[in-house]
A and B are shown apart, each in its own frame.
Chain A
Amino acid sequence: MTFSRRPLRQIPILNPHHSLSRRFAISSHHSRHPTPSAHRWSHPPSSTVISDDDVASLASKPLHTLSLADLVKHGRPPLHAPALFSSANFTLSLLPIRLAHRIQALRNLPFIVVSNPNISKIYNNYLHSLSTLLPYKSKTISTLEDEIKFTEVLADLVNTHAHTIPTLARGFLECRKYVNPAEVTRFLDEHLRARIGTRLIAEQHIALHMSSQPHQHPDSKDQIPDPSSSYIGVIDTALEPASIINSCANFVSEICELKYGVRPTWIIDGEPNTTFAYVPVHLEYIITELLKNAFRATVESGKSHEPIIITIAAEPETTERGSAVLDHNRRLENGISSESPESASIKPFDDPAPGVTIRIRDRGGGISPDVLPNIWSYSFTTFSDADDFPGQTPGSGNMDALNVLSGAGGESSSIAGLGYGLPLGRAYAEYFGGGIAVQSLYGWGSDVYLRLKGLGRPKE
C-alpha cells in the first residue's frame, strides 16, 4: 500500500489556469437549477426561439461516430492558435447535430412524459443549448476572440447539463405509471450514452483551450503545462488505475467511517504499476460506484475486517501485437494497405495499447438471486407505489448513507438513491468498448469485473 494517493479533487480535469475556468467553477456552484414544483404540470414555455426546421434538418444528419483519434488529432497541448481553432471548428461541426438528435428523441416521447416538469426542463435545456450554438454554425472560428466566446458557450453547455441525469431520473420516476419501462430504458440507455460522448467533445475542447498557448496567463509562467504531461485534454495517456482506485477508496472509506463508524480496508494486487490511456473522470465515476457497493456490502454484512481485494490485470503486450498482425493480415486480404490512415480510423488510436481488467472482490455476502436480475435496470422499473421517492424523505430506507455522497465523475449527488449508479457505470465502461460483469457468490461475496479497452497511444 505505498501508492501515491492523490486526493480526488486534484486530478486535473479542468486546470484552473485561466480566469475563464475560475468563472466556470464559481458559476457551477450557482447553477443548481431549482427543482420544478411537482405540482406544476403545465408545459413551461420555452425561453428560446428555435425553428423546428433547424432541429429537423440537423437531426436528419448522421451522427459522426466519435473515435478517440478525433479528440487528439489536434496534437498534444499546449496547442498553437491554428490547432486550437481547428479543434473549435471540429467541435462545432459535431455538437449541434448531436443535440438535435437528442431533441428529436425527447420530442418522440409520449406527451404526458415530456410535459412532466423535470423532463420538460431537460428538453428546454437542450433547446437552449442548441440555440446558443447555432449562431456559430454559419461561420468558421478563426480569431482568438471568437474562440474564447465559443469556449464560454461550451462551458455553459457543460454546466447546464450537469444535472440532466438526476432530473431525468426524477421525471421518469414520477411518470412511471404512464410509460412502458422497456421504452424508457431504451431511451435512457441511448440518452446516457449519447450524453457521455457530447460532454466528452465539449470538455475536450475546453481542456485543450485551458492548456493552449494563446491562453496562458502571461504572468504565471509556472502554470504553463508541462509539455511532458501525460494529458491530452481530458485524456490521460498514462493513467495509473491504482492511484485512482486509492483515491476513490479513500473517499468512500471516509464516508463509511463518518456514517457507519467503521472503515473497511482494501488491498491492491496484481499489477498496480500498470498505466494505460483513458479518461480519468470516467474511470473515477465507475470505480467510485463499484467501491460504494463493495464497501456498503462489506460493512452491512458485518465483515468490515475482511479487506476488499482489488486486482489489476494488464493485458500482455504480446497478444496485442498478435492481434495487430491479424488486423494487418485482414487488411491485406481486403486489398487495403495497412499504411492508409483511413483504414484505422475506427480504432481509438493507431497504436493499440493493451487494456486493463480490474476485479473488485468483496466478502459482503453477495447479491440475492431475487435482486440479481435487476441490478442493471434503472430503479424506476422496480419501484413500487409503496416506496417513498428517494430524496424526498431523507433518512428513510431508500437513502442509505453511501448514496448521499456525490459521484466523483462530476455526476451530481442527487442521483443518490435513484439507482442509476450501476447502469451509468456500465454505460461509461462500454463507451470505449469495455464492460462490467458482476458475479455473485450469494452467501459469501461478490466479484465485479471491470474491463477497459486500452485506448492506445496517439501517434506523435
Chain B
Amino acid sequence: MTRRAGRGISLSCEQVRTVHQPPPWRPAYSLDQWVAKEARPISLRQLMVFGRTLTESRLISSANYVRTELPTRLAHRIRDMQTLPYVVVTNPHISQVYELYYKAFEGLRRIPEIKTLDDNQRFCEKVGQNLQEHLTVIPKLAMGVLECRDLMRPEDMDKFMNTILRSRISRRVIAEQHIALTETFHSPHHFPETPLREAEFVGEVLVKCNAQEVVMRCGQEVASLASAAYGPSTLLPEIRLTGHLSATFPYILSHIEYIIGELLRNSLQGLVEKQKSNPGPPTQPPPIEVTVCEAQQHVIIRVSDQGGGIPQDILPHIWSFSKGPRSLSTLQNLNQVPKMAATLQELRPNHPSPLSPPSPSASSLPKSTGTPPTKTGVLMHDSSLASLSSRDPNLRLGMGLPLSRVYAEYWAGSLELHSLEGYGVDAFLQISKLGNKNEQLTMRASMDAV
C-alpha cells in the first residue's frame, strides 16, 4: 500500500515536470474555515504526561486532537504558500509540495470524529500513509527554494522555509506520537490503567536522553560512514568527551541524533579535508572535542574542532536555505537525494515503518519493556542511523545547519556557531530541559503556533 502511494507520487512528479501546470484553482471556502482556527500547541512535557497513563478514552481524545490539529496546521501552511509570488508557486518542486499539502488537507479534514478503537486504527493508517507520502517534501522544498532564489528576497525565502519546516516537524511529532501511543496501547505488554513509570520512552519521547550516549553513537556512525567514503587509509579524528557526562534530558531521540550527527559530520569533514590538503604523509588529525555542560534549566553541548574553520565568504550564509556561493552545487547534490526525511528516523528503508498500521509487532516491544536505555536506543534507532550512510559525506546538501537549527529552536533551544578561520569551528547546541517544572510553555507556544 505504501509502495503504491509512493509510485503515485513519482508519477505525478513527472507530470508536473513535463507539463509545468500550476496548481489548479480551488474554492477557498473550506480552507478559509480551517485557517481561521488557531493551532493548539503542545509541549514535550504534555506529550510525556499524557502518554504515561494510557487508557482507551485518552487514546481516543489524543486521536481527535490529532484529527483536528493536522488539517488546521496544514491549512495555515497552504495559506502561506498561496501568498507566495505566483512565479514561485508555479515552480515544479514548490507546486508539487503545494499539491501534496492540499491533498493531505482535503483527506484529513473529512475524517469524522473518532469514537472507537477501530476508528482510531483506520485513522492511524491514514495518518501513517500521509507521513510516508510527505517524505519527499524536504528535498523538493530545498530544490524549489534554490531554484527560486532570485525570485524572492533571500530573507523572505528563509523565513518561509523556516516556518514551513517547523510546522512540518510539529505535525510529524504529534502524528508520530499518537501512532506510537497507539502501538504502545495495543502492545501485549501494556496493561491499561497501569502507569508506564519505568518506561524509557513515552511514545516517541525519550525521557532520559543522555548526551554522552548520543554523541558516542552518532560519532561511531559518522566515523564508519567516513571511513567507507574516504577509504580505510584516511586517519579519522577521535571524539573526546568532557564535562557533565551524566546529563540527561527528555527529547525526541531522532531529533537530537540528527543535530549531533550533522555537527559531527561537519567537524569530521573539515578535519579530513584539511588533512588531505596538507602535503606529506597523513598525520593523526586533532580530536573533535565535545563538552557537555548541564545547568538547572539547560544542557549545552559544545562541539569544537580544528578543521580549519569556515571561509569568510561562506560564513554569512551558513544559516540560509537559499543563499550562498554554493547554491548551484547544492542544487545538483539535492537532485541525487530523492527522499530526504527530516529526521533520520523517518528513513527506515529496510524496516517496517513505525508509521504503518500499528500492530503489536516486534518493533514496538522495546518501548514498553524495561530494557536498558542504551540497548533500547540502539535497537530502535540503529536502522535510522544506518540510513545516514546512504548519504555520501561529500554530498553537501547545504541544509544540515539551518535544518538542525530549526529542530533546536523547535524545542525551545538554540544552535550557535563560531568560526575561527584558519583553525576550526565551535558549535553550541543548547537544549532546554523541558521536563522540569520550569518549562516555559509560553515560549513553546509561540514557537509552535507558527
Contacts and interface: CB of A to CB of B under 8 A. Distances in A.
Interface of A: 270-271, 311, 313-316, 319, 322-323, 326, 354-355, 357, 359, 366, 369, 437, 439, 441-445, 447, 449
Contacts of A443: 244, 293-295, 300
A369 B428 contact: no
B420 A442 contact: no
B422 interface: yes
A449 to B, nearest CB: 5
Given A319-B311, A366-B293, A443-B244, 10 more contacts: A270-B423, A316-B421, A316-B422, A322-B313, A355-B421, A357-B421, A357-B423, A437-B418, A443-B293, A444-B291
A354 B422 contact: yes
A329 to B, nearest CB: 13
Contact of B300 (A316, A437, A444, A449): A444
B8 interface: no
Contact of B420 (A270, A322, A323, A369): A270
Given A270-B420, A447-B418, A439 B426 contact: yes
Given A319-B311, A319-B312, A442 B293 contact: yes
B293, B297, B311, B423: residue with the most chain A Cβ atoms closer than 10 Å: B423
Interface in B287-318: 291, 293-295, 297-298, 300, 302, 308-309, 311-313
Contact of B418 (A271, A439, A444): A439
Contacts of A271: 422-423
Contacts of B416: 439
Q: Which size bracket describes the interface of B in this complex?
A: 20 to 34
B424 interface: yes
Contacts, number: 72
B298 A442 contact: yes
Interface string B249-266: 000000000000000000
B436 to A, nearest CB: 14
A435 to B, nearest CB: 11
Given A315-B312, A323-B313, A326-B313, A441 B302 contact: yes
The list of the 5 closest CB pairs from A to B, nearest first, reads A313-B423, A313-B420, A444-B293, A443-B295, A441-B293
B424 A313 contact: yes
B112 interface: no
Contacts of B311: 319, 322
Main secondary structure of the interface of B (DSSP, over half): strand
B338 interface: no
Contacts of A441: 291, 293, 300, 302, 428
Given A369-B297, A444-B291, A444-B300, A319 B421 contact: yes
B163 to A, nearest CB: 26
A348 to B, nearest CB: 15
Contacts of B426: 359, 439, 447
Contacts of B192: none
B263 to A, nearest CB: 15
Nearest to B420: A313
B314 to A, nearest CB: 9
26 contacts: A311-B420, A313-B309, A313-B422, A315-B312, A316-B308, A319-B312, A322-B311, A322-B313, A326-B313, A355-B421, A357-B419, A357-B420, A357-B421, A359-B426, A441-B291, A441-B300, A441-B428, A442-B298, A442-B300, A443-B244, A443-B293, A443-B294, A443-B295, A444-B293, A447-B302, A447-B418
Contacts of A442: 293, 295, 298, 300
A311 B423 contact: yes
Nearest to B314: A319
Interface in B341-385: none
B243 interface: yes
B416, B422, B424: residue with the most chain A Cβ atoms closer than 10 Å: B422
Nearest to B308: A316
Interface of B: 243-244, 291, 293-295, 297-298, 300, 302, 308-309, 311-313, 416, 418-424, 426, 428
B291 A315 contact: no
A314 B295 contact: no
B317 to A, nearest CB: 14
Contacts of A319: 311-313, 421
B420 A359 contact: yes
Contacts of A447: 302, 418, 426
A248 B419 CA distance: 24
A441, A442, A447: residue with the most chain B Cβ atoms closer than 10 Å: A441
Contact of A439 (B297, B313, B428): B428
A444 B301 CA distance: 11
A445 B428 CA distance: 13
Nearest to A323: B313
Contacts of A322: 311, 313
Nearest to B421: A315
Nearest to A355: B421
Contacts of B309: 313, 357
A441 B308 CA distance: 23
A323 B416 CA distance: 25
Contacts of B243: 444
Nearest to A319: B311
B196 to A, nearest CB: 31
Contacts of B428: 439, 441
Contacts of B298: 442
A445 B295 CA distance: 12
A409 B298 CA distance: 38
Contacts of B424: 313
A92 B257 CA distance: 62
A399 B35 CA distance: 58
Contacts of A270: 420, 423
A322 to B, nearest CB: 7
Nearest to A356: B422
